[in-house]
């Protein structure tokens, strides 16, 4: 790379280029010579945008003036991206369901009430179809809570009071 191309790079690209050369057993003088720029000019240009040379690391790093402006390195973003990529189809289905307002929610009253055990008679095929639907569409809900919500919905829809 020549001097003009080097100076045309933005600070971050310059630092990346120089750090790469420094990793390959070059020192600062050799890097300046390779670019074709005076050593003093090279070091001055490299200090732009608050970059500093750390000799023991043989690399340039961004100088931080205010510790509060440092954002902590968060590897959970990579984990989150991987999770989203793995579950993209499921997430799309959930979003579609939400858009159609097709989600089944359980009223808080159901959990706050005293429980009562009742026996209902119904066709086995109807019950099995209901269970399959519940397990497929609402695996996060208990069947007894779904039945209780359905009873509450029925009461709310058809009650005169």
pLDDT digits (tens, 9 = 90+) for 103-128: 677 888 888 888 889 898 999 999 99
Please compute the mean of the pLDDT values over residues 80-104 and round it to a whole number.
79
Structure tokens at 53: 């040379």
Chain position carrying tokens 């289905």: 93
pLDDT at residue 68 above 80? no
3-state DSSP helix/strand/coil % of the chain, to nearest 5: 60, 5, 35
Rounded distance between C-alpha atoms, residue 62 and residue 122, angstroms? 71
Rounded distance between C-alpha atoms, residue 29 and residue 43, angstroms? 9
Contacts of 41 (CB under 8 A, 6+ apart): 32
Whole-model pTM: value is 0.43
pLDDT band at 48 (very low <50, low <70, confident <90, very high): confident
Boundaries of every domain in the chain:
3-69, 72-101, 104-161
CATH architecture of the domain with range 3-69? Orthogonal Bundle (1.10)
DSSP 104: -
Residues 128-153 pLDDT 10s: 999 999 998 888 889 999 999 999 99
DSSP 47: T
């Amino acid at each position: 790379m020549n001097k003009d191309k080097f100076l045309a790079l933005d600070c971050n690209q310059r630092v990346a280029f120089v750090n790469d050369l420094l990793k390959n057993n070059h020192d600062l003088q050799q890097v300046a010579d390779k670019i074709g720029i005076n050593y003093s000019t090279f070091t001055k240009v490299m200090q732009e945008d608050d970059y500093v040379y750390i000799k023991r690391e043989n690399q340039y790093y961004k100088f931080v003036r205010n510790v509060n402006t440092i954002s902590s390195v968060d590897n959970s973003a990579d984990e989150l991206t991987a999770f989203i990529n793995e579950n993209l189809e499921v997430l799309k289905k959930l979003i579609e369901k939400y858009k159609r307002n097709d989600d089944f929610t359980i009223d808080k009253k159901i959990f706050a009430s005293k429980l009562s055990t009742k026996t209902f008679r119904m066709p086995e095929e109807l019950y099995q179809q209901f269970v399959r639907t519940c397990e497929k569409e609402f695996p996060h809900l208990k069947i007894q809570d779904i039945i209780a919500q359905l009873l509450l919905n029925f009461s709310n829809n058809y009650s005169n009071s």
